[in-house]
Amino acid sequence: MNATGPITTGPHPGTTASAQPSPGTTAIAQPCPVATWEELVTSALLGTDRRRPPVAVPPGKDLSAALLDAAAVETVRRRAGLRPADAAGLPERAAPDERPPLPAAARRRLALLLADRPGSGSGRRSTAPDLTELLPQWLAAANDHGYAAPAELLPALLDAARGRTDLRPQALRFAGPRALWLAHLNPDWKFALRTSPGGNALPRARDIEGVQRLWEEGLFAERVALLAAVRADAPEAARELLAGTWSTERAEDRLMFLDSLRAGLSDGDESFLERALSDRSRNVRATAAELLSALPNSALAARMADRASPCVAMDETRSGITVEAPHACDAAMERDGVVSQAPSGRGQRAWWLGQLVEATPLATWPSRLGGRSPEEITALPVRDDWRPELHAAWCRAAVRQRDAVWARALLGVPSAPEAGGPGAVSLAERAKLLAVLPAAERAEWVAGFIDAHGLSEAFQLLGVCNLPWSGTLGRAVVDALNIARDAGSYPWSFSGVMGLAERCLDPAETSRLESLTAISDEPEDGAPGAVGYWAEAFQRLVGTLRLRAAMIAEMTPPGAAADTRP
């Protein structure tokens, strides 16, 4: 740029009007101040109208173009002026992974699963399997076989786990020690250090000095992961760690730390939780009370039983239950977690009663109600329309206390009208009660529900069943889908169940499904387009089951007997 030629510039910020040439004189360019990189960036972000950059504007160019020219020159100057730094030392080698390598076919399958991206297909109206939904099952199978992850696929595997938290436990277990090594080199994969024992950000539970340092200096997510790791190894040490800084933690952090005590909750936690009942945060107090009520032998559970017992009794005929809800909520009840203000639409006394009953040990009621069993108690009539409120509270208590006997009694038989059972008044409550039962019994109950009532209300119930579905449950689902198709039902109503079936059906059911893939005649009273949709859905289901079977077969080392279990 010619610094001595005649250049006409506008006033520069910081100059005065007297510094400009008077009319009739020749403008002699003054040396323009050198603009800093920060000034150029600020002007570019705000716009030259709002922040004029200190740059010269040659004839024929506007201010915006001059700004870009100056930025280009400054970029070259910054690069040219960069002094080379000393070469960094080579990183230490990753810890060895002694597990056997994947068979070649399984390695190729993993590469395909990792290359697939959500939304890359044509949507649900397609016969192609959804590969992204098969990755969790593939990882679980590889971990069951004890294989090591291929080194060349580790970056893609960590990227997938970064975007999907549901993949992280299985993905990091499969990735092994090299995942931690890579996570030190790429900040995008730092989550591996926070969630995997052995990473520098998560010391071993018995490393007292390292644990204390990370607890005092670490990020919140690291501290939560650390607390969980220490608790799994030494529960008392974890409580001491938490108690040491409890009074200085933020309310939201105290709540998260307290919530982490759900895993492995035991009577040893009672003393700490009792102190938390006096916390200044209402949410912390409520969580502490909930955890204490899950300990039937705790002092809080005994206090709740003392309050709830007078409210529920046998009537004068000894053939039914009478309820007298609390008339007030005192300070002691509030300290024990009872929320005094009822939500909109709920009666105040009913609200208090429900909270007392759900926090009372279920072992209280047989002796209180004439020595009857849970099945007999839930079958008793309840006077004055208190039955829904009382039974709903017992449902919550059974889930909180993980009491399978009461859960079974409240569920009732699956063939009951609407499968409501004596106490389960909603699908959500039934699903929670089912989760308390053993896996095999859970599957049998849901299969009976489907046989009696079809699939229209079964989605939430199927979601709590173990994978893969048992043969009885799988056959019940296939039969119900076939009945829905033959009845000309709207197929879109069953898309959720069909998606679950792709992930959860035993591949052994494939042969029973093949006959359903053909396009049949359109029924006169059926939904328009339903036949084609059903055919595509069953074709996709069959293709997915075959692919899952192939995935399992590929895990078998050459020369070994194939494991046909899904």
Residue 331, amino acid: A
pLDDT at 10: 41
Band of pLDDT at residue 126, cut at 50, 70 and 90: low
pLDDT at 362: 97
Threshold 0.85, pTM exceeds = no
Quick one: which H or E segment has residue 233? helix 220-233
pLDDT at 6: 36
Region 143-169: mean pLDDT is 92
In this predicted structure, which of 5-19, 410-424, 541-555 has the lowest mean pLDDT? 5-19
Band of pLDDT at residue 124, cut at 50, 70 and 90: very low
CA-to-CA distance for 488 and 505, rounded, in angstroms? 23
Q: Comparing C-alpha atoms, which of 488, 493, 508, 499 is closest to residue 541?
A: 499
The residue that leads in pLDDT, 18 or 145, is 145
Q: Comparing C-alpha atoms, which of 529, 535, 321 is closest to residue 422?
A: 321
Band of pLDDT at residue 553, cut at 50, 70 and 90: very high
Band of pLDDT at residue 442, cut at 50, 70 and 90: very high
The residue that leads in pLDDT, 327 or 9, is 327
Residue 151 has pLDDT above 60, yes or no: yes
pLDDT at 127: 64
Query: Two tokens at 14?
Result: 């910081």
Helix, strand, coil shares of the chain as percentages rounded to 5? 60, 0, 40
Region 520-548: mean pLDDT is 75
Residue 398 has pLDDT above 90, yes or no: yes
Q: Comparing C-alpha atoms, which of 399, 468, 450 is closest to residue 428?
A: 399
The residue that leads in pLDDT, 551 or 85, is 551
pLDDT at 370: 93
- Percent share of the chain, pLDDT over 70: 84
In this predicted structure, which of 80-94, 156-170, 418-432 has the lowest mean pLDDT? 418-432
In this predicted structure, which of 206-220, 277-291, 535-549 has the lowest mean pLDDT? 206-220
Q: Comparing C-alpha atoms, which of 153, 164, 173, 144 is closest to residue 111?
A: 153
The distance in angstroms from the start CA to the end CA of the chain is 74
Most confident of 12-21, 123-132, 445-454: 445-454
pLDDT at 427: 82
Residue 309 has pLDDT above 90, yes or no: yes
pLDDT at 1: 41
The residue that leads in pLDDT, 69 or 457, is 69
pLDDT at 521: 57
CA-to-CA distance for 317 and 310, rounded, in angstroms? 17
CA-to-CA distance for 42 and 71, rounded, in angstroms? 11
pLDDT tens, residue by residue, 257-292 = 999 899 889 999 999 999 999 999 989 999 999 999
Region 68-87: mean pLDDT is 84
pLDDT at 565: 46
pLDDT at 519: 62
Asked if 505 and 474 touch (Cβ cutoff 8 Å), the reply is yes
Most confident of 122-131, 189-198, 515-524: 189-198
CA-to-CA distance for 521 and 538, rounded, in angstroms? 16
CA-to-CA distance for 479 and 482, rounded, in angstroms? 5
Asked if 406 and 398 touch (Cβ cutoff 8 Å), the reply is yes
Helix 220-233 vs helix 251-259: angle between axes, to the nearest 10 degrees?
30
pLDDT at 558: 63
The residue that leads in pLDDT, 131 or 471, is 471
Band of pLDDT at residue 331, cut at 50, 70 and 90: very high
The residue that leads in pLDDT, 514 or 71, is 71
pLDDT at 560: 56
CA-to-CA distance for 484 and 477, rounded, in angstroms? 11
Q: What is the DSSP letter of 322?
A: E
pLDDT tens, residue by residue, 462-508 = 989 988 899 999 999 988 988 888 877 777 778 888 888 888 898 88
CA-to-CA distance for 66 and 64, rounded, in angstroms? 5
In this predicted structure, which of 214-228, 238-252, 519-533 has the lowest mean pLDDT? 519-533
Band of pLDDT at residue 526, cut at 50, 70 and 90: low
pLDDT at 211: 84
Region 413-436: mean pLDDT is 76
Region 233-257: mean pLDDT is 91
Residue 9 has pLDDT above 90, yes or no: no
Band of pLDDT at residue 460, cut at 50, 70 and 90: confident
In this predicted structure, which of 75-79, 218-222, 336-340, 458-462 has the lowest mean pLDDT? 218-222
CA-to-CA distance for 120 and 23, rounded, in angstroms? 67
The residue that leads in pLDDT, 147 or 538, is 147
CA-to-CA distance for 279 and 346, rounded, in angstroms? 27
How does the average pLDDT of the chain come out, rounded?
83
Band of pLDDT at residue 233, cut at 50, 70 and 90: confident
Band of pLDDT at residue 197, cut at 50, 70 and 90: very low
